[in-house]
Chain A
C-alpha cells in the first residue's frame, strides 16, 4: 500500500519537475519584452475602453503613449478625453514627460428641431435606427439635415451622458459627457460636434445644420439658420463664417460676447449656462427691439416712433428686415 503511495507521489513529482524545467526554458526562449511602464500607464487610465482617444481601448493607448514617449520624447496628439488633464498629467509623470493642458470638450447637439419648432409632417414606422432612417427619407419634420430622433447617439453612449428629451424629441447632453466622440460617429447627419466646454460651461453655437435656402429651411423649422449673415457682420472676432446658407461659430475664435445671439432673427444661435441678461440701462429701447421678433414691430409703433423721433427710431427695425431677407 505504502509502495503505491510513494510511487505515485514520486512519479508525479518527477513529471512536475521535468515540466517546470521545460517551461522555464521555453519561457526564457520565447519571452516578449514589454515595457513595464505600459502596465503602469494602463493602471492610471480610466479603463473605460471607449475608444475616444482613437485607439482600440486603454491598453492600446498605453502602448502608443509609451512608444511615442520612448521614440519622440513627447505626448503630442495623444489625449485621453475621459480622464482629462489629470490623467494625462499622471501619464506624463510616469513617462517622465510633460504634457500640455487641453481644453476639455463636450458634445453639442446642433439641432433644435423639436416637436414644436419642426412639427411632424409624416410618421416613420421603420426600424428604430437613425442610420437606416437617414438612408430612407428626409425626416418626420421635413428637414433633411435635422435630428431624426431615433436614439443612435443614446444607444452608443457608454457614459450615460446623452438622453432623449421626450418633450422635444431631441437628445440632450449632460455633464457626464467625456467627449469620447462615439455619438459624433454614430450620428448619420453629423449634428453632434465636440466643442470646448468653456468657462463655467458657457458655450455659444449655431443650433442648426440646415444648408438649404432660408425660405425652404424656415418652412420646415421655425428656428432654422437662414444664412442671413447678420451674425457674421456683428462678430468682432471673425469667429463666424457662413457657408452653404449655414452659419458656423469657430469655438477657437469665439469670445462669448453673445452679440450674435442677439441679432439672430430666427433664434438659431444658442447660448448655454450664461447668467440672465441684464437689461441695458442706457438704451433700453434699442437693446430690446432686435431680440424681439420682427412681427412685433407693427405699423403703429413705427408710426408712433416716427412722430416722436423722425430720424433715428424707425430706421432700426426697417433695415433689420431688409438685410434679413
Chain B
C-alpha cells in the first residue's frame, strides 16, 4: 500500500474520531412538526406552491426552483401546512420556510417504496437530467449545489470522467461510509445513471483508506458494473474537496476560477449518487437523508435516516440527549462545519452531520503573534499563503487580497487548524472573500 493516490500540495491529518462508524443507519421517527426551508441549496430560493391549511403528502412538490441555479423542494412529511413563516436557520438569521403539522405518514402514490433494487436504466440522457431536476436532488456533500446544473455540461466542454466522492475526509462524520456499506448496489446504479446523463464511459470512486470495508465491498460489487472503478486514497484532509479529489484521482489541476469540467471531470458525492438512484429508479424526491450525530460526550454516536425539516433537537434526543458539558453544537464536521446558534434548526439537504463538542475542546485558544513558521503555506491545498491574505485583509488592502488569489480558497480550514499561534486565518480569509467578491461583482456590473 506504499503508493496510494492523493493530492498535492498541502493537506493535514486531523484525528479521525469516527466514533459512529460501525453503527448501522437507523430510521429516525417522523417529527411532530416539520420546518422545511425554501433555500436549502446554493442559488435562488425556491418559489412556494402551497398555502396555509393545505394538505400535503410526503414527496409532494411544495416549492419550485425557477431560476437556473435552484432546486425543487418537496414535503418530507404528510400533514397540514400550519404556516409559511420565517424560521431560524443555522446562522441565527430567519429564512422563509413551510411549517407542516404532521399527520400520519402518507406518501405520494408515484413513489416506489419497495426494497427491490432496480438496475435497468431505461431513461435517456435528457430524461434523467429532467428527472433529477424535478426530484430536487442537490449535492449532498455539504454545499448543496443543484445536481442537474452540474450534469449539464457547458457547450464546448466535454466530460470525460465521472468521479464519485466517497472520501468523507471530515473527522467524526460517517454518514457516507454507512450509506456506501448498506446501499452499495444502489450507489453503483446511481453512478451508472450519472454516467449516462453525462455521456461518459468511465467512473472513478474515490474512498479514503480508513474505510477498508467499503473499499473491499464496492470493489467486489463494481466488477458487475462496466466502467466503474474503486480507488483507495491516502487519508488526508481535505481530499473530499472537489478540486483536490480530481487532482488525487486523475492528476489534473482545475485552473483558478474554472469549473472541474474544464479538465473533463465531474464530481458527485456518494450520497448524491444514492439520491439520484432513488429519484430516477424509484421516483422518490430528495426528502430524507443520512445524518451522523456524534461527539465524544454523546452517549450514542450514530447514523440516522432523517426526514428533511426535522428539528436537530429530535436528532440529539435520539442520540441520548444533549450532554451537560456541551460547549458547541456544530452543523457538519469539525473542520468545515458551522456552530449552530439554536437547536430548533431543521435538518436540511446539506446537513451531513451534527457534532457535539465538549466545553473544553470547543474553546478557541489564545491568539498569539504570527511567528512566520509558514506551516499554513505548506498545508494549504490550493497553494495560497494564508498568513499573507490574513494580513492584507487586516490592513484592508483588498487589491492585494485579490491578487493573492483569495477567491481560490476552498475554506477547508487547514491553515487555521495547523497554526501554532492560533491565528484566526480562515476568519479573515472569509471576510476577505466576502469583500473581494463584492468588489468583483460591482466591477463586472460596470
Interface set of A (CB-CB < 8 Å, partner B): 121-122, 125-127, 129, 131-132, 135-139, 142, 144, 212, 216
A17 to chain B, nearest CB (A): 46
- Main SS class of interface, B: mixed
Chain A residue numbers with a CB within 8 Å of B364 are: 125
Known: A136-B91, A138-B93. A127 touches B341 (CB 8 A): no
A268 to B380, alpha carbons, bound, how many Å? Answer: 48
Known: A131-B434, A135-B434. A212 touches B428 (CB 8 A): no
B341–A142 contact, CB under 8 A? yes
Chain A residue numbers with a CB within 8 Å of B86 are: 212, 216
B417 to chain A, nearest CB (A): 15
A106 to B339, alpha carbons, bound, how many Å? Answer: 38
B431–A137 contact, CB under 8 A? no
The verdict on B92 contacting chain A, using a C-beta distance below 8 Å, is yes
Could you list some 19 contacts between A and B, CB below 8 A?
A122-B341, A125-B364, A127-B427, A129-B427, A129-B431, A131-B435, A132-B431, A135-B434, A136-B338, A136-B430, A137-B93, A137-B339, A137-B341, A142-B92, A142-B341, A212-B86, A212-B94, A216-B86, A216-B94
B window 331-356: CB within 8 A of A: 338-339, 341-342
Chain B residue numbers with a CB within 8 Å of A139 are: 92
B94–A132 contact, CB under 8 A? no
The verdict on B210 contacting chain A, using a C-beta distance below 8 Å, is no
Known: A122-B341, A125-B363. A144 touches B93 (CB 8 A): yes
**Among B342, B363, B430, contact of A132 (Cβ-Cβ < 8 Å):** B430
Chain B residue numbers with a CB within 8 Å of A122 are: 92, 339, 341
B window 387-446: CB within 8 A of A: 424, 427-428, 430-431, 434-435
A166 to B77, alpha carbons, bound, how many Å? Answer: 48
Interface set of B (CB-CB < 8 Å, partner A): 86, 88, 91-94, 338-339, 341-342, 363-364, 424, 427-428, 430-431, 434-435
Chain A residue numbers with a CB within 8 Å of B94 are: 144, 212, 216
Chain B residue numbers with a CB within 8 Å of A131 are: 431, 434-435
A135 to B341, alpha carbons, bound, how many Å? Answer: 14
B360 to chain A, nearest CB (A): 14
Chain A residue numbers with a CB within 8 Å of B424 are: 126-127
Chain B residue numbers with a CB within 8 Å of A127 are: 424, 427-428, 431
Chain B residue numbers with a CB within 8 Å of A138 are: 88, 91-93, 341
A216 to B344, alpha carbons, bound, how many Å? Answer: 14
B166 to chain A, nearest CB (A): 30
B88 — nearest CB in chain A belongs to which residue?
A138
B111 to chain A, nearest CB (A): 36
A122 to B363, alpha carbons, bound, how many Å? Answer: 13
A137–B92 contact, CB under 8 A? yes
A144–B428 contact, CB under 8 A? no
A137–B91 contact, CB under 8 A? yes
A126 to B86, alpha carbons, bound, how many Å? Answer: 26
A131 to B432, alpha carbons, bound, how many Å? Answer: 10
Name which of A121, A127, A132, A139 has the most chain B CB atoms within 10 A of its CB: A127
A126 to chain B, nearest CB (A): 5
A125 to B93, alpha carbons, bound, how many Å? Answer: 18
Known: A212-B86, A212-B94. A132 touches B341 (CB 8 A): no
Known: A127-B428, A136-B430, A142-B92. 15 other contacts (CB 8 A): A121-B342, A126-B424, A129-B427, A129-B428, A131-B431, A131-B434, A132-B427, A135-B430, A137-B91, A137-B92, A137-B93, A137-B339, A138-B93, A142-B341, A216-B86
A125 to B365, alpha carbons, bound, how many Å? Answer: 10
A139 — nearest CB in chain B belongs to which residue?
B92
A144 to B339, alpha carbons, bound, how many Å? Answer: 16
A122 to B327, alpha carbons, bound, how many Å? Answer: 10
A149 to chain B, nearest CB (A): 15
Chain B residue numbers with a CB within 8 Å of A121 are: 341-342
A127 to B425, alpha carbons, bound, how many Å? Answer: 9
B340 — nearest CB in chain A belongs to which residue?
A122
Chain A residue numbers with a CB within 8 Å of B88 are: 138
A309 to B45, alpha carbons, bound, how many Å? Answer: 58
Name which of A132, A212, A216 has the most chain B CB atoms within 10 A of its CB: A132
B435 — nearest CB in chain A belongs to which residue?
A131
A224 to chain B, nearest CB (A): 14
Known: A132-B428, A138-B341, A212-B86. A144 touches B434 (CB 8 A): no
B261 to chain A, nearest CB (A): 29
B265 to chain A, nearest CB (A): 31
Chain A residue numbers with a CB within 8 Å of B342 are: 121
Name which of B86, B364, B431, B435 has the most chain A CB atoms within 10 A of its CB: B431
Chain A residue numbers with a CB within 8 Å of B338 are: 136
A122 to B90, alpha carbons, bound, how many Å? Answer: 13
A158 to B92, alpha carbons, bound, how many Å? Answer: 33
